[in-house]
Structure 1
Amino acid sequence: MSEFAKSLSVSASGLQAQASRLRHLSENISNSDTPGYRRKTIPFRTAFDSNQGVASVEVGRMSLDDRPLDRIYDPGHPMADDTGHYEGSNVDLLIELADAREAQRSYEANLKMFEQTRQMSSSLMQLLRR
């Protein structure tokens, strides 16, 4: 596998990982007001392919955040107990938006790396044609 292909493979794995992260973050944001909803998280890990000599990013199994759910006082809510409370979600919008910004920037960095590698490969091919 050429060095260009290796570089493209690493960038593509980063793009896929950040896209998956953004998908889960958007689900968390859209369900932040859903009673009983638990925040979803996904871990990243490095995977080394010894055949190609390339390390890439892999997405692990999605897990639910085990922090306690918010207790919300609203006696008129259909899910309220005898004390007038019900369990909300454990999604903190500030954290989700910060994570989304970080994932977006990481995605953009991987995309830039992908584009630069593609441009270098194209330039090399033009030089070799001369």
Structure 2
Amino acid sequence: MTDFSKSLSVSSSALQAQSQRLRHVSENIANVDTPGYRRKAVSFETVRRGQQSGGVAAGPVRLGKTELQQVFDPSHPLADATGHYQGSNVNLVIELADAREAQRSYEANLKLFDQARQMSSSLLDLLRR
């Protein structure tokens, strides 16, 4: 595998992993007020092809282990005898920070992909002369 195609492969795998991470972050934000919802987090794993590492992939989705928030609302249909029900464990500030981090990482990998594409195009133009 040439260096250009390897760099394109690595950056495209990172783009896919970050887009999956952003999807889970957006699900968390959408369910911030859903009772009983647990935050989803994704980790990244190195992809190995033979002896060389060939990129990154999103690993298994983990559910947040923090306690669910206890919300007092006696009129809520899910409230128990004391008037409490379990909310979600999603922290909106953390989710927004994760979304920003995923976006910036996605943009950086997109720039890397574009640079490798431009370099290979320039190399082909030089070889044609």
Distance 1:50 1:121 in 2: 25
Give the partner amino acid of 1:15.
L
1:22 maps onto 2:25 in alignment: no
2:44/2:57 contact within 8 Å kept: yes
Structure 1 unaligned spans of 5+: none
Distance 2:23 2:82 in 1: 36
- CA-CA distance at 1:36 after TM superposition: 0.3
1:129 maps onto 2:128 in alignment: yes
Give the partner amino acid of 1:30.
A
Measured against aligned partners, the alpha-carbon deviations of 1:64-100 in whole angstroms (never above 9, x if no partner) come to 1111100001111111111111000000000000000
- CA-CA distance at 1:54 after TM superposition: 3.9
Of 56-65 and 84-93, the range deviating more from structure 2: 56-65
1:35 maps onto 2:39 in alignment: no
Aligned to 1:82: 81
2:46/2:53 contact within 8 Å kept: no
SS in 2 for 1:42: strand
- CA-CA distance at 1:55 after TM superposition: 2.8
For these two proteins, the number of residue pairs brought into alignment is 129
Distance 2:61 2:10 in 1: 22
Runs of 4+ in 1 over 4 A off after TM superposition: none
SS in 2 for 1:24: helix
TM-score computed with the length of structure 1 as normaliser:
0.96
1:117 maps onto 2:92 in alignment: no
- CA-CA distance at 1:124 after TM superposition: 0.3
Aligned to 2:49: 49
Aligned to 1:12: 12
SS in 1 for 2:77: coil
Distance 1:94 1:116 in 2: 33
Higher share in strand: 2
Distance 1:58 1:114 in 2: 16
Task: Give the fraction of aligned pairs with identical amino acids, expressed as a percent.
Answer: 64
TM-score computed with the length of structure 2 as normaliser:
0.97
1:10/1:54 contact within 8 Å kept: no
